[in-house]
């Protein structure tokens, strides 16, 4: 296994976040502005994923979580969903060797097993082949919804209580967080949403409790290492008190 050493932070950067999450928004508007079909925007969005995941590794970010397909995205036209699934297949096939060579640990959160069987097999294979890596984590949220994640965690804890494995009094914030799909990741430090929209859209609601939120006007297909660097600089200038003085 070739596990790359964690790079030094870029010059001038201080107080880098350990865990960054991105709501990748604006593919459709990018395509519309150029009078192109929506799939063209999604293809450019995949290129942005490549750029940003590489930049995140170079900047020394320990975990990068990308909102790739929400549980609400099934409401989109069937042809668009099919195109998105095809792009996901292509990304996994084309990027897996690089993720392995860079020592990246791929994680998928969300109910992705409701996707097509061949895609589920590709995801399982990619996750298994990178599971032993100790480098940065790349987390892809697929068929993910934060409210469903919280409900599932509550149900799991309730089952443990009913089975006598856990007492009600033993359930606290740490125990609840340990029941979530992000339990082995660093706490979320920074959440970025592109395209100017200012909402969380059912993404990492529990995890974002004390995360810094940053809404940028850049459409996702135009997001690159420079945009990420600017976001990290803004994060570094914020004072995080977590409710204290």
224: annotated active-site residue: no
Average pLDDT across each block of 10 residues of the chain; the chain has 245 residues. List them in order.
41 80 97 96 95 95 97 93 94 94 96 95 97 95 97 98 97 97 96 97 97 97 96 88 63
Per-residue pLDDT reduced to its tens digit, 68-81: 999 999 999 999 99
Of 197, 238, 233, 242, nearest to 215 by C-alpha is 197
Helix (H) or strand (E) holding 213: strand 212-215
Q: Which of 2, 15, 25, 169 is catalytic?
A: 25
Of 92, 159, 154, nearest to 122 by C-alpha is 92
73: annotated active-site residue: yes
Q: What is the pTM of this model?
A: 0.91
Q: Answer for the pair 137, 105: CB distance below 8 angstroms, yes or no.
A: yes
Q: Which CATH number fits domain 19-145+187-234: 3.40.1180.10, 3.40.50.720, 3.40.190.10, 3.30.420.140?
A: 3.40.1180.10
- List residues bridging with 65 in a β-sheet: 21, 139
Q: Answer for the pair 30, 221: CB distance below 8 angstroms, yes or no.
A: yes
Q: Show me where the domains of the chain are located.
A: 19-145+187-234
Could you give the CA distance from residue 33 to residue 79 in angstroms, rounded to a whole number? 21
Binding residues: 25-30, 38, 42, 70-72, 74, 76, 193, 199-201, 212
Phi then psi dihedrals of residue 3, to 5 deg: -105, 115
Of 16, 1, 75, nearest to 233 by C-alpha is 16
C-beta atoms surrounding 169 within 10 Å: 6
Per-residue pLDDT reduced to its tens digit, 85-119: 999 999 999 999 999 999 999 999 999 999 999 99
Phi then psi dihedrals of residue 158, to 5 deg: -65, -40
Binding residues for substrate: 26-30, 38, 42, 70-72, 74, 76, 193, 199-201
Structure tokens at 57: 């590794």
Could you give the CA distance from residue 96 to residue 91 in angstroms, rounded to a whole number? 8
Q: Which of 73, 83, 160, 202 is catalytic?
A: 73
């Amino acid at each position: 296994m070739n596990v790359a050493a964690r790079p030094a932070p870029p010059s001038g950067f201080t107080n880098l976040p350990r865990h960054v999450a991105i709501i990748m928004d604006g593919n459709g508007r990018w395509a519309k502005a150029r009078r192109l079909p929506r799939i063209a925007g999604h293809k450019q969005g995949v290129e942005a994923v490549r750029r940003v995941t590489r930049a995140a590794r170079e900047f020394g970010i320990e975990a990068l979580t990308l909102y790739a397909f929400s549980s609400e995205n099934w409401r989109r036209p069937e042809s668009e969903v099919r195109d998105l699934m095809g792009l996901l297949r292509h990304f996994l096939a084309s990027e897996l060797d690089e993720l392995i060579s860079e020592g990246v640990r791929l994680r998928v959160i969300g109910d992705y097993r409701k996707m097509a069987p061949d895609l589920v097999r590709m995801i399982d294979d990619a996750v298994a082949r990178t599971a032993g890596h100790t480098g940065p984590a790349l987390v892809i949220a697929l068929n993910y919804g934060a409210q469903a994640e919280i409900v599932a965690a509550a149900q799991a804890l309730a089952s443990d209580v009913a089975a006598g494995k856990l007492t009600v009094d033993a359930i606290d914030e740490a125990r609840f967080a340990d029941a979530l799909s992000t339990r082995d990741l660093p706490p979320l430090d920074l959440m970025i949403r592109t395209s100017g929209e200012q909402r969380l859209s059912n993404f990492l609601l529990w995890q974002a409790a004390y995360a810094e939120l940053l809404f940028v006007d850049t459409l996702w297909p135009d997001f690159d290492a420079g945009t990420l660097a600017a976001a990290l600089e803004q994060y570094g200038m914020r004072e995080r008190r977590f409710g204290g003085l």
